[in-house]
Structure 1
Amino acid sequence: REAARNTQCKNHLKQIGLALHTYHDALGSFPPGWLDTSYNIPSSPPDNGFGWAAFILAQMDQVPLHDRIDFSEPINQSPGNANFVANQYLEIYRCASDNGPDTTNNLPPSPGLPQAVDNYVACFGKKQICENCSDTGRSDGAFAHNSSTRLSDIKDGTSSTFLVGERAWVGANTFGDAYWAGTPDNWALDILGSAGFPMNGNNSARFSSFHPGGANFVFCDGSVRFLSETIDSDPVLVGTYQKLATISGGEVVGRY
């Protein structure tokens, strides 16, 4: 059964990769990691911006939902965004091996509006993702604050750089949550992941899954691969895992 669930998860990532490329072909770049008018920090109220997965809804065969979004308004301040869009469960953004809830009441204001759970986060690179970090606005991966990464920016090679990976649901406001619509509580790590932390570790920004031994990732060339949680990883010395997360680090990726 797990083998079938893992295959389905890989198919979801394959579709996500194709949608990202279709978006790129139409608009000249990949979508922003998250959209926000504030500067140098992931998000500051009331600018809870929509994330990358919302931008590709049309390419994911979700045109009616995409057309309901008011991208000029924050997720939680436009009645249509908060009460209809953000709480829509989308199977394509869920991994069958994850038994987390369909939605959680995690969208501000308190006590919280329903927000649909997600199992896929885009790659910020190997840098830290946190509120008010001085380096947060400048990722070394394909997705960041108001980013518009092009395929020509992937200097390390499309087959050696991943775009999106898995995030296992553990619980809201813990080291295991993600939401497809965007940043529900001003944390960019709810929609992005960093290889600067161990896979399946206990940091909120990590990539993770409930598949035994690792997680699935879709690469810039559209291929989907299962990466072992024991992959060579060193955030300081830059291991293989970190090299696969950056777009133009100039690193040589060996066998893994």
Structure 2
Amino acid sequence: MTTPSRSGLTLVELLSIVAIVAVLLALLLPAVEMARESARASACRNNLRQIGLAALQHEAAHNTLPTSGWGWGWMADPDRGAGKNQPGSWCYQLLPYLEGRPLHELGRGLPEHDKPEALALLAATPQEVFYCPSRRLARAMPNVKDGVPDTKGAGTFWYNANRSEKLAKSDYVGNIGDRWVYWGIGPTPDEAERGQGFLRLHNVDGVPVDAADVSGVLIQRLPLRLPQVKDGLSRTYFAGEKPIFTPDYKTGVPMNDDQSAWQGDDMDLMASTQFRPRVDPPKFTWEMGMPFGSAHPDGFNMVFCDGSVRFVSYDIAPATHNESGNRFDGMR
């Protein structure tokens, strides 16, 4: 009597197949992730390309580049036009050229008692072009202070707008120059009415700075024309990516990510080439809120004043990076 043979795999053979599949997956997954990151970085570059073109359109329409706003105590106001009279950020001033005109016009013409609520809605409404897809989706983040929901402190203290539960963000920051300067909250409403209380600039050491000496291209109440970029449009940064520490991409907690994209000048929206660029760090440091940087592993995207976009390595020579933030001729 013949015993029929049984076809099949032994346990050893099955384990060998599983091991081979696991090795193949281990080899394949990093390649897939690299391809995804390449696509996200390309989308990020496209965002900055659109921002650069919008800046050139703004300059053509108003004969100046946008300004940086009045300080973090002021929300953008559609009835205040462009230039030195606009309290909102450079991001807000570019919205009409980034398919964001309806958002830019939110609250226009409303009575003074109705406008603060409309501006609170503006503060919470994100625009996709200002978000790096390597970091996060275009969503509003919680309005927080010290890691908890905030009802009256930083991030919500706008003289001209009501509090908002959520805040639109920007992963892109403007070039404030080769030396960090800061405006703070800005003038009070009474001061603004009298044209006073502006340009209270100081550096990282708290020393006052004259606005005329600011070497960047986005300055409070100082609209610049392209010919004033003396070092060359293709040699001077207009804007670029900022670093955020990795645990807080979606929390709204970091000091350079706790404000709205549409309010006035703040370290959420400005950076300096005084500091070395850096990849998103795992822990908070005070300096982190001041340099350029990104979520990309090898470098960061920058748009120059001629509208060109370049990927810059974190290993860029410090002097080269520093000079790229200075609109004046050469180093000072």
The corresponding residue for 2:168 is 116
Gaps of 5+ in 1: 37-41, 234-238
Structure 2 partner of 1:153: 228
Task: Tell me if 1:182 matches 2:220.
Answer: no
Aligned residue for 2:305?
220
Match of 2:140 in 1: 102
How far apart, CA to CA, are the structure 2 residues paired with 1:136 and 1:57? 29
Specify whether residues 159 and 174 from structure 1 end up closer, same or farther in structure 2 by C-alpha distance, changes over 3 A only.
same
- Count of residue pairs the alignment pairs up: 234
Could you say what the CA RMSD is over the residues aligned between the two structures, in angstroms? Answer: 2.9
Q: CA offsets, 1:38-70, max 9 Å, x none?
A: xxxx45x56883100101111111111111155
The equivalent residue for 1:231 is 316
Q: SS at the partner of 1:188?
A: coil
Once residues 102 and 43 of structure 2 are traced to their aligned partners in structure 1, the CA distance between those partners, rounded to angstroms, is 24
Q: After superposition, where does 1:183-202 map in structure 2 within 5 Å?
A: 183=264, 188-200=266-278, 202=285
Match of 2:325 in 1: 245
2: CA distance between counterparts of 1:149 and 1:124? 12
The 1:112/1:150 distance shift into structure 2, 3 A limit, reads same
Are 2:95 and 1:20 aligned? Answer: no
- Of the structure 1 ranges 160-169 and 217-226, higher mean CA displacement relative to structure 2 is found in 160-169
**Pair 1:221–1:47, CA change in 2 (3 A):** closer
8 Å CA contact retained: 2:124, 2:168: yes
- Using the alignment, how far apart are the partners of 1:164 and 1:11 within structure 2? 13
Q: Does structure 2 retain, via aligned residues, the 8 Å contact 1:175–1:205?
A: no
Aligned residue for 2:275, secondary structure, equals coil
Measure, in 2, the Cα distance between the counterparts of 1:98 and 1:71.
Answer: 36
The equivalent of 1:91 in structure 2 is 128
Amino acid at match of 2:228: D
State the AA in 1 paired with 2:272: S
Letter matched to residue 193 of structure 1: A
Structure number with bigger Rg: 2
Amino acid of the structure 1 residue aligned with 2:117: P
Q: TM-score of the superposition, structure 1-length normalised?
A: 0.81
Higher helix share: 2
For 1:65, the aligned partner's letter is L
Q: Which consecutive residues of structure 2, in runs of 5 or more, have no partner in the other structure?
A: 1-35, 77-86, 145-154, 185-200, 203-207, 280-284
Q: Which amino acid aligns with 1:146?
A: R
Q: Is the 8 A contact 1:128 1:136 kept in 2?
A: no
CA distance in 2, matches of 1:244, 1:163: 9
Letter in 1 for 2:90: W
Q: Give me the TM-score of the superposition, normalised by structure 2.
A: 0.64
1:236 aligned residue: none
2:51 partner letter: I
Question: What is the CA–CA distance in structure 2 between the aligned matches of 1:114 and 1:102, rounded to whole Å?
Answer: 6
Deviations for 1:178-230, whole angstroms, at most 9, x for unmatched residues?
642124xxx62121111111211742111110111221000011110011111
